[in-house]
Structure formats: structure tokens, C-alpha cells
């Protein structure tokens, strides 16, 4: 089976994108579709490389039965643009940074998460400087988006 490869991207890969990765994997597992996907996350910056997700992201995910504590932050690499079918940025700034780094043939793989998942140009806000409630809000937004993305993920033309 040819797997669909999805990469979730935020700034530092410790708040939003690890949550998105964990939520999507969890939903795919519940739907019995784990084998269909290769899912990962990365950051446009390398400030937190090798670190676990933010403790608040880990806690919010755990409260919803999702364990993201084994994830480690990494910076997006040039090879990712060829490896992944979909690269989903959490906000417009990260999408702009991805577009600067991507080769011309990879530009069609880049999407704003909410634009592809929900048909909205709304950013997923960075909760890093917020409180636990901000992380819960982001979780809820990502859950809604991932719930809509899962049925579409196998149908989005690769590199479109």
C-alpha cells in the first residue's frame, strides 16, 4: 500500500505541530487507517531541536487520551519537501517561510492547515506565551481540522 505522507509545521515544533501530529495519528488509529499514513511534524526554526513538546501540549494531549511525550522537535529539512505529499503550516507566517525554502516543484504540497482542512484562512494561534486554556483552544481547533482532514487526506492529489 502506498502511504500518504503528511507533515505538520509550526515555528518551533513544540506546541501546535506536535499536537496536530498526535491528534491525526490518534484519529487515523481510531478509524483503523494507521497503515495508510506516515505522519510527522517539524518547525521552521531550530530553537528546540531534540526537545520534547511543550509540557502544556503534552498535558492537553494526555487529557484527551493522546501521548505525544515521545516526540522530539526538529527543524524542517530540504529532503522533507520531496518526502511528504502534504506539508501543512499552522499559520501564514510559517507558510510564507516554507514557500521561501521549498523548491518550485514542492510549492503545490504546501498548504495552510485550516485552508485545506476547514476551508478557512484562519491561523492556528501559537499558544506558547499563553496559558493552559490557550493550549486547550488550540487542541480543539486542531481536532476539528484533523477530523475533517482525515477523510480528505487520501483524496488530495499528491503535490497539488
Q: Is the residue at 160 inside a domain? A: no
The answer on pLDDT for 160 being more than 50 is no
pLDDT value at 13 more than 90: yes
- Which of 1-5, 59-63, 65-69 has the lowest average pLDDT? 1-5
Q: Which helix (H) or strand (E) holds 33?
A: none
- When divided into structural domains, the chain yields a total of 1
Residue 121 phi/psi, 5-degree rounding, is: -90, 15
- Determine the structural domain holding residue 54 and report its residue range: 4-153
Buried b (16+ CB within 10 A) or exposed e, 32-70: eeeeebebbbbbbbeebeeebbbebbbebbeeeebebee
In a domain, 27, yes or no: yes
In a domain, 89, yes or no: yes
> Cell numbers at residue 1, please?
500500500
Residues 62-78: tens digit of each pLDDT: 999 999 999 999 999 99
Contact (CB, 8 A) for 59 and 136: no
Q: What CATH number does the domain containing 69 carry?
A: 3.40.50.2300
158 located within any domain: no
**Inside any domain, residue 28:** yes
Asked whether residue 80 is domain-assigned, the answer is yes
pLDDT at 154 over 80: no
pLDDT in tens, 100-124: 999 999 999 999 999 999 999 999 9
What pLDDT band is residue 39 in, cutting at 50, 70 and 90? very high
CA angle 13, 16, 157 (to 5 degrees): 90
For residue 159, is it within any domain?
no
Active site members: 10, 16, 126
The rounded mean pLDDT for the chain is 94
Asked if the structure places residue 99 within a domain, the reply is yes
Highest-scoring range by mean pLDDT, 38-42, 46-50, 148-152? 38-42
Amino acid at each position: 500500500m502506498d502511504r500518504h505522507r503528511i507533515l505538520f509545521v509550526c515555528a518551533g515544533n513544540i506546541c501546535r505541530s506536535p499536537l496536530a501530529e498526535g491528534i491525526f495519528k490518534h484519529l487515523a488509529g481510531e478509524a483503523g487507517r494507521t497503515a495508510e499514513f506516515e505522519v510527522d511534524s517539524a518547525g521552521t526554526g531550530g530553537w528546540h531541536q531534540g526537545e520534547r513538546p511543550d509540557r502544556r501540549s503534552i498535558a492537553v494531549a494526555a487529557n484527551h487520551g493522546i501521548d505525544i511525550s515521545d516526540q522530539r522537535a526538529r527543524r524542517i529539512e530540504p529532503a522533507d519537501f520531496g518526502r511528504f505529499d502534504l506539508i501543512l503550516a499552522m499559520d501564514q507566517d510559517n507558510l510564507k517561510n516554507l514557500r521561501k525554502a521549498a523548491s518550485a516543484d514542492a510549492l503545490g504540497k504546501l498548504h495552510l492547515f485550516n485552508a485545506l482542512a476547514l476551508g478557512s484562512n484562519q491561523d492556528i494561534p501559537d499558544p506558547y506565551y499563553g496559558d493552559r486554556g490557550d493550549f486547550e483552544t488550540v487542541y480543539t481547533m486542531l481536532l476539528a481540522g484533523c477530523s475533517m482532514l482525515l477523510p480528505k487526506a487520501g483524496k488530495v492529489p499528491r503535490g497539488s
